[in-house]
Amino acid sequence: MIITPQELQNWKDKRKSFRVLDIRPEKQRKDFPLNGLNPVIADADSIPKIEIETVLICQFGIITEGIILEQDLDSTFSLLGGAQAWETFQTEKQDLSRWSRQTVLPEIGLEGQKRLLNSTVAIVGMGGLGCPVAQSLVSAGIGKLKIIDGDKVELSNLHRQPLYGVEDVGRMKVEVAKEKLTLLNETAMIKSSEEYLNDDNGIDIISDVDVIIDATDNIQSRQLIDRFSKAASVPMIYGGLYRYEGQVAVLNANGSPGYSDLFPEPHLEVTRVLMQVCWVCCRE
């Protein structure tokens, strides 16, 4: 079983009877003391079994989950995010434990998670690309997400746009997406715009974001996003696909080229039929 730092704090506040076992090596215990928990040092290979609810703590909350499963321990909880999450909760009053499986990665860590929580991303297009991107960002802890699309859900969308279901057909995509994304992470602030990006609304929509995701399905929109991205000095991540192949690029970031630098010619006519073929494969 799992317990979060917030839940453990609630136990403390209610003066619930429980014990805390710290299975970490001495250096980790010294560097990350479990303030306020009065832990007992324990050997991970022989957890003493007594009739009281027990919280096992390791550094990141991963080893203890394994111990509970392997030793089939009753009434025993693993502290989600471990000592690292407890310390953050104590010092900053932020429970980051739900993201412990990514904060354990050195490339993200607690600092990276805080940056995600304080970041704003705009996604233009909530179709086959926008849906999974939005799901990943909200799940990962992006603090604020803007989603822009003037389209309604159609039956032919459902096989590749996993935020939508049969009952959503005919509703605005961003309206449904906002509901479903909020279920993934109730703390994320999601702002939906039931319109297509255009010359009039573009700057307003992207001016206060850290990154703009181009998840549209047409080159004209890409060119428009590219112009706004350059004008507002906001990096743009572009994704596109053709059948089973995809393209992805980070553009207009710290002086890097933009979409118009990559494909400078005024654009080519690709037929609607071709676009529909592309859409078939866009989950790739």
Partner 1 sequence: MKVTVKCFSQVKYALGTDDLVLKLDIGTTTEILEKVIREKAGGKLDGVSLRVAVNQKYVPENTELNDGDEVAFIPPVQGG
* 222 contributes a contact to partner 1 by CB under 8 A: yes
Contact between 159 and partner 1 per CB under 8 A:
no
User: Of the two residues 104 and 131, which places its CB atom closer to partner 1 in the complex?
Assistant: 131
Q: Taking the complex as a whole, how short is the minimal distance between the CB of residue 38 and partner 1, in angstroms?
A: 55
Q: State yes or no: residue 216 binds partner 1 (CB under 8 A).
A: yes
211 vs 215, beta carbon nearer partner 1: 215
> Measured from the CB of residue 267, what is the shortest distance to partner 1 in angstroms?
7
Least separation, in Å, of the C-beta of 215 and partner 1?
Answer: 5
Number of chain positions touching partner 1 (CB under 8 A): 32
Report if residue 268 touches partner 1, rule: CB under 8 A.
yes
112-131 footprint of partner 1 as x/- string (CB under 8 A): -------------x-xxxx-
Q: Kindly state the smallest distance separating residue 49's Cβ from partner 1, in Å.
A: 56
Q: How far is the CB of 253 from partner 1 (least distance, A)?
A: 16
Q: Does 279 bind partner 1 (CB under 8 A)?
A: yes
Counting every residue written for the chain, the total comes to 284
Told to check if 18 binds partner 1 by CB under 8 A, we report: no
Which residue, 43 or 265, has its beta carbon nearer to partner 1? 265
Least distance from partner 1 to the Cβ atom of residue 176, Å: 18
3-state secondary structure the chain: CEECHHHHHHHHHCCCCCEEEECCCHHHHHHCCCCCCCCEECCCCCCCCCCCCEEEECCCCCHHHHHHHHCCCCCEEEECCHHHHHHHHHHHCCCCHHHHHHHCCCCCHHHHHHHHHCCEEEEECCCCCHHHHHHHHHHHCCCEEEEECCCECCHHHCCCCCCCCHHHCCCEHHHHHHHHHHHHCCCCEEEEECCCCCCCCHHHHHCCCCEEEECCCCHHHHHHHHHHHHHHCCCEEEEEEECCEEEEEEECCCCCCCHHHHCCCCCCCCCHHHHHHHHHCCCC
Q: State the binding string over 243-262 for partner 1 (x if CB under 8 A, else -).
A: x-xxx--------------x
Question: How far apart, in whole angstroms, are the C-alpha atoms of residue 183 and residue 195?
Answer: 23
CB 90 within 8 A of CB 36: yes
| From 12-20, 77-85, 188-196, 273-281, span contacting partner 1 (CB under 8 A) | 273-281
Tokens standing for residue 148: 């822009």
Q: Which residues bind partner 1 (CB under 8 A)?
A: 125, 127-130, 215-219, 222, 239-243, 245-247, 262-263, 265, 267-270, 275, 277-279, 281-282
